Amino acid sequence: MAKYPPLARRIPQPSDITPFLRLKSRSGLSRAERRVADAHTIEDLRRLAKRRTPAGPFHYVDGGAESEISMRRAREAFDDLEFNPEILRDVHEVDTTTTVLGKQSALPFGFGPTGGTRMMHAAGESAVARAAERAGIPYGLSTVGTTSIADFAAAAPGARHWFQMYLLSDRERSLRMLAEAQANGFDTLVVTVDSAVVGNRLRDARYGMSYPPQLTVKTFLDASYRVEWWTNLLTTEPYRFTYEEPGVPRSQLTAVKGFTDSSVTFDDLAWMREAWSGPIVLKGIQTLDDAVRAADSGVDGIVLSNHGGRQLDRAIPPLHLLPSVAARVGASTEVMLDTGVRTGADVVAAIALGAKFVLLGRAYLYALMAGGEAGVDRAVQILRAEIRTTMALLGVTSIDELRPEHVTLVSRYTRLASTASESASTPAPLAEPSATSTTSTITTSARPRARKAGTR
């Protein structure tokens, strides 16, 4: 038996131990900043948000339509992709700035419009707007936001504001909102086109987030011990939806569930163009044909989106649609993407596959629920660092250097279909296979087919 020399040992000195005893300094941090400081991913912020927020608002953000297949597959599309890095490149300086709709953004993503934001945290859209201003990125106010157009603009006067429009059944009210948004410096109109009716959002119904929201015994008990959330809700001004007008009784505006206009068609783009002088973006494109038609209509941009999986279940993941749309209309129309984006690497992948810009929703809402304005700042820090790291590891130093060749886009469902096809075409063995040969057969049939970079 071999004999090994003993490990040489010595008595440790105090100076040897001191480096391990240094505590992370958090002096000067607010309570909210300390809370989110240990979050290192958006998923960390999500878990913190779930602990701190009543079930109703949390699941309103976290859930999707029906069986949530659209939402899940949109996330899986990013999980399944593969990066193809280039080595031995000088990447000591990485520039994340880009241009979207004629203006610069410090990062290749912005904060997309979301409804009911003050239900997530009392500071609501104003907090997110200030974080966006500090980050140098655009942020969109939703028609069903919970902050007025004027208050939103005043919260971050130096930021770039977009206005999202659900076309109301009251056309005159729609026109007044557009005029008010332009008067307050909003430069881009985002028209959501995937919501002719509201999707069947089962989590909303189960947790009392139907419209108008209604408390049940279950949801009340769940919310009762979130003292900070209740305190913030009850000690700040009651929220009103962005589309509500001062002096108009709420019952006149919200009694009808279908307050949006379900008869809107491409023909309505004409009067929107007359009413809005800046860029117009259609959000909710889900087919190549509609992308082409939107581009032909003269809009400035489109957002490939299935509404975060909250409308039609089993809709195509926007990431899978992206390469074909970017190739077809990207030269004339700015192609953006949302749904399923949870990391900076996801943002980089989308840009590489042809997106001009990416919009985030759940990512910053989790952060807002986790730590208010400080949480949103933390989300930006996390995403910025992830983007820089991913770009450097891919061997690129600017957004313009990202190309489809950097990403292999595959689907686990395509892989499973390929496996089934290969198995069906393989002749059955003539003799009873041994355990060893059976294992070999399964391994061979499970091998995915060859894939091309940048394709579905």
Active site residues: 307
Q: Which residue has the tokens 């933390």?
A: 378
Nearest of 312, 315, 292, 314 to residue 302 by alpha carbon = 292
Helix or strand (DSSP H, E) at 151: helix 149-155
CA distances from 376 to 113, 146, 172, 364, 412 (A): 15, 17, 35, 6, 32
CA distance 94 to 90: 10
- In Å, what is the CA distance from 296 to each residue of 18, 268, 270, 328? 67, 14, 13, 11
CB 110, CB 301: distance < 8 Å: no
Helix (H, G, I), strand (E, B), or coil: what is residue 120?
helix
Listed residue (364, 344, 371) closest to 129, CA to CA = 364
Contact 118, 146 (CB under 8 A): yes
Which residue type, as a one-letter code, is found at position 348? V
DSSP string, 254-277: HSSTT-B-TT--GGGHHHHHHH--
Contact 179, 157 (CB under 8 A): no
Write down the number of H helices and E strands in the chain. Answer: 20, 12
